[in-house]
Structure 1
Amino acid sequence: MGPLVLNTRPKTDSADLEASLQTRGYRVLSAPMLEIEFPAQTRPFDPTPYQALIFTSANGLRAFARLSQDRYQTALCVGDATARLAADMGFNRIESANGDIHDLAALIRERISPAMGPLFHPAARKTAGDLGEILRDGGYQIDRQIVYTAHASQTLPQQISDAIAAHHIDAVLFFSPRTAETFVKLVKSYKLEGELTDTCAICLSPAVQLRTADLTWQRTYVASKPTQEYLLSILDQSFSSV
């Protein structure tokens, strides 16, 4: 049997990830650390003032699909997975930063003129960074609208807490600082902080790794680029080096 990997991503983002893990020969457990809620949209959305749309997550895309059927603007996506979803949803003009929010800001500076009009950014209430602040000195007008909420999990499933206590989990995947922070809080609340010494933490970025530091791991790995592909690559490397 392959190594047992714990996925902490929200359910909305997990289907492709878990399929990739199983294809690679891993056994998979899931404990979503965030639950995504898409509230009902009560006001009509008019996309015509915006020269382009900014998507810093796949859930931003899913929320936009609830706002509008329009797909004619350029979709500026933080990564390739989000860009693929944009293509599946019918967008024809898609740009991918293939990285994190700072890479997306660099893409916007390279491809978009602030003189051509504002940008629309459908996002969560809490985000990993403030894109508007990063681009403020460039004269960009970014209309950020809260279109979904990510609620932190309050419990660990019994199967997961038992697996941690028994030292059965070989690696835990962390894709965002908030999922890592939520996991750490729950592990501490269940008095399991000493039970991960045989487990590797696989982190999307240094910012994510920082949130895992309160727990003692066998080893911590960080993807060389903040994408799912690179995270899975470092996961494979972590076991090939054992």
Structure 2
Amino acid sequence: MMEAIHRVWVTRARPGADRTAERLTGLGHTPLVVPLLEIRPLDVALDLSGVQALAFTSLNGVAAFAALSPDRSLPVFAVGDATARAAQDAGFTSVRSAEGSLHDLATLIRAEASGLSILHPGAAEPAGDLSAAVGDTARLRSIAVYGAVETRVEPPGDWEAALVHSPRAGRALAALMQGRPNLPVVIAISAAAADPLRTTGFAEVRIAAAPTEAALLAALGNPRPAV
């Protein structure tokens, strides 16, 4: 039987890190919130002329767009339920959740937004190419509304597992941990997030069964080793 994990390092940026910490506490873990990334909104001019819908791939994209524009009239396609809730909380009334990954979002857009002109406010360094995944079914344009910078902090004390929510966080954690001995367990939300960590020296690298936080948290007690 696997030894229970209690002290869990949350490496993702705030405010998402605080939501993750709440969920960990509810599951009986002790969250250690020490973000490896900091989200910084970009001062960009949004041109919504001709835009018929919005696509959000993260909570950060919703927050950055909401700070840049008061427009809440456009329908929203969100990558997952947490992003959809963030859009609703920001004042959007027509919100559809793909309930999964970027490719699930692309599938939803292809099925329900054929021919529409869609704006995707996202990261300066996106984890995936939504436009390529959507193809020519819809006219999708991406714009960077936020960036992520490494905090270069030291890890928390006595952590037993680290959660990695993105490839960018995976690269930051790998750089920070390189050459350190006796590294415990790391749990990644996807194979892409786990890739930078495979040769870092962790005792175990687990990958969530699906690219969702629910699956990531389930992997704390349901190991899925990286291969």
TM-score of the pair, normalised by structure 1: 0.85
Structure with bigger helix share is 1
**Deviation of residue 54 (structure 1)?**
0.6
- Of all paired residues, the percent bearing the same amino acid is 34
**Deviation of residue 64 (structure 1)?**
0.7
Structure with bigger strand share is 2
- 2:147 counterpart residue number: 149
- 1:19 counterpart residue number: 22
Q: Does 1:220 align with 2:205?
A: yes
**Residue aligned with 1:237, SS:** coil
Instruction: Choose the corresponding residue for 1:40, options 24, 40, 43.
Output: 43
**Deviation of residue 79 (structure 1)?**
1.0
Q: Does 1:195 align with 2:209?
A: no
**Residue aligned with 2:220, SS:** helix
- 1:88 counterpart residue number: 89
Question: AA paired with 1:211?
Answer: P
**Residue aligned with 1:149, SS:** strand
Instruction: Choose the corresponding residue for 1:176, options 141, 153, 166.
Output: 166
Bigger radius of gyration among the two = 1
Alignment length (residue pairs): 220
Cα deviation digits, residues 122-145 of structure 1 (max 9, x gap): 111100111112223x24222211
**Residue aligned with 1:173, SS:** strand
Q: Does 1:56 align with 2:57?
A: yes
Where does the alignment leave 5 or more consecutive residues of structure 1 unmatched? Answer: none
**Deviation of residue 30 (structure 1)?**
2.1
**Deviation of residue 68 (structure 1)?**
1.5
Cα deviation digits, residues 171-193 of structure 1 (max 9, x gap): 110110110111110112xx41x
Contact kept in structure 2, 1:2 and 1:25, CA below 8 Å: no
For residues 220 and 207 of structure 1, what CA distance do their matches in structure 2 show?
12
TM-score of the pair, normalised by structure 2: 0.90
Could you say if the C-alpha distance between residues 2 and 127 of structure 1 is closer, same or farther in structure 2, counting changes exceeding 3 Å?
A: closer
Cα deviation digits, residues 23-66 of structure 1 (max 9, x gap): 1111121221211111334x3x4535111101011110001101
